[in-house]
Amino acid sequence: MAFFRKIGKELGRWRSKLRSAPWMFLGAVRRRDYDSRRPHSVKITPGNQPIAEQVAILVIFPRDGIPDSTFATLAHFARNGIACVVVSNATLREGDRERLCAGTHLVIERPNLGYDFGGFREGILTLFDRGVRPRMLFLMNDSLWFPLRPDCDAVARCQQAKEDIFGFHLNCAPRFGVNHEYVQSYFLRFSQRLVASEAFLAFWRDMPLIDNKHMVVRRLERGLSRHFARRGYTLGAFVHWRTAIDRLMALDDADKLSRLLAYQCRLNPKDAAAIRPMLEQGWAPLRIRDALAGPIRRKRLFASFPMMHPEFVLDLGFPALKRKLSIQYRELVRLGLDADFEPAVRAEMQL
């Protein structure tokens, strides 16, 4: 059975690669077409917030209006001296546009081409077209609840970090036996040295507009970090993938580990196939973890740290949580771990 699952997974992977192959060409074509139409298809509305030396670009896709937690995010950036640019990959309702303008420098509405990276690109090009080169630039999408707590110091820590590209999680993608590290793109902070470079503008100006998620992750999310690392720029994050694995392997609280294993079985069928038989045989949590040490360290199991048990994610100091991961925030609420969260975040988790 495991053999056929593996064959099915490999076939699925190759199907994804074949479907994404045309975007190597189409992405550049769509970028040129998009740029020729930019003056007519992109709407820019000035907001009430003055420009600042530090700027955050927040990309949103408001299918059903804008949640209150998004406005909490904008207010948090503003309290930290950061001017905000919102890029919407959909046309905004009039009331939402007005409310956004009250707490931002610019509100940009654009066609939904290129997913979040297309939105990041539009925000950056708009700033540069207006002669704005921030001393520090933040990029974020609306897949996160951030900040989780009113007293969150994550932005201040990003401002103090020395690395050129800094974020919440430094992940890796094994390739040809080598672990290629990259900063996950839902939250990125770029240094003044990088933003001022010609290489930075060139990357975004020449970036293909890709509407294939497999290719966006491979070519843009992972590719961005590799592109700049090859040019001598440094990467960093609050949580390194090796740190997450080391902490999991060092965890000696049997009750907590039991919760992590049970949660992982509900979250990920592949992990469940490895873990559940041992649970059914009555193995102790520490014994199960140690028996699976090899696959865990090779990132074959527990591969996606931000999606893991919220107790573990928060223990490692991760300052945000992914939206629309109902299993995660149901567990948060069940354990009472959301008690001191931002009221807007807490309300949305408990809907």
- Same structural domain, 127 and 271: no
- Same structural domain, 289 and 221: no
Residue at 310 is within a domain? yes
- Same structural domain, 212 and 266: no
**Domain C-terminal end among 234, 269, 300:** 234
Which CATH number characterizes residue 172's domain? Answer: 3.90.550
- Same structural domain, 83 and 215: yes
Q: Domain limits at 286?
A: 251-349
- Same structural domain, 134 and 163: yes
The encoded tokens of residue 301 equal 């199991």
- Same structural domain, 100 and 224: yes
- Same structural domain, 214 and 259: no
Average pLDDT over the chain reads 91
**Residue 236 pLDDT:** 97
- Same structural domain, 164 and 42: yes
- Same structural domain, 101 and 196: yes
User: Tell me: the pLDDT tens digits for 252-265?
Assistant: 999 999 999 999 99
- Same structural domain, 278 and 198: no
Residue at 179 is within a domain? yes
The residues of the chain scoring below 70 in pLDDT are 1-25, 174-179
**Residue 64 pLDDT:** 84
Residue at 13 is within a domain? no
**Residue 176 pLDDT:** 55
- Same structural domain, 172 and 213: yes
**Domain C-terminal end among 234, 265, 297:** 234
Domain count, the chain: 2
- Same structural domain, 211 and 165: yes
Does pTM top 0.85 for this prediction? yes
Residue at 7 is within a domain? no
Residue at 14 is within a domain? no
Residue at 242 is within a domain? no
Residue at 11 is within a domain? no
**Domain C-terminal end among 177, 208, 234:** 234
User: Tell me: the pLDDT tens digits for 81-135?
Assistant: 999 999 999 999 999 999 999 999 999 999 999 999 999 999 999 999 999 999 9
Residue at 8 is within a domain? no
